């Protein structure tokens, strides 16, 4: 594909267990990261996200690595222990509720942070801590969007 600046760019499809996305790479990046860009190859990508009204998010590649040991160490370092940090509590009607899918999508978007997420299901009266890879970045935009989607009384950050 050709960019607005008349340079070659590539759209690379990546996926994990939950979803897929298209990543935009420049021609220089395609050459530099060629060894990592193979089908079924597990990689760690650092991305820049562009959010514009009435458009799907666009992801721009900044770096690609296949050193998963570094990625695991960084992920572990980003997660705080339960005793030391704040927690995000989300209340949902039940595990099969329509709101759950909306919440999971938002958690996926903001994942990678150090704020653990707990989901309380009203029907079963159970609270479940999501896995460590679903800890989120504490962003006002996340809280606002969760509040808009499921109601302000159903979202709370506590210590």
Rounded-to-integer distance, Cα 74 and Cα 71, Å: 5
Rounded-to-integer distance, Cα 22 and Cα 57, Å: 10
64-97, pLDDT tens digit by residue? Answer: 887 655 545 555 554 444 445 689 999 999 989 9
Rounded-to-integer distance, Cα 21 and Cα 39, Å: 15
What pTM does this model have?
A: 0.50
């Amino acid at each position: 594909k050709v960019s607005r600046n008349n340079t070659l760019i590539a759209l690379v499809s990546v996926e994990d267990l939950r979803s897929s996305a298209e990543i935009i790479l420049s021609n220089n990046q395609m050459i530099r990261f060629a060894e990592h860009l193979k089908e079924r190859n597990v990689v760690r990508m650092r991305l820049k996200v562009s959010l514009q009204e009435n458009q799907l998010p666009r992801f721009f590649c900044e770096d690609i690595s296949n050193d998963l040991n570094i990625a695991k160490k960084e992920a572990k370092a980003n997660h705080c222990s339960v005793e030391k940090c704040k927690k995000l509590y989300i209340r949902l009607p039940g595990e099969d509720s329509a709101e759950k899918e909306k919440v999971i999508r938002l958690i996926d978007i903001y994942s990678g942070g150090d704020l653990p997420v707990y989901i309380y299901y009203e029907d079963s009266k159970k609270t479940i801590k999501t896995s460590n890879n679903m800890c989120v970045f504490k962003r006002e935009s996340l809280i606002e969007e969760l509040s808009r989607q499921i109601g302000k009384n159903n979202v709370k950050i506590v210590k």
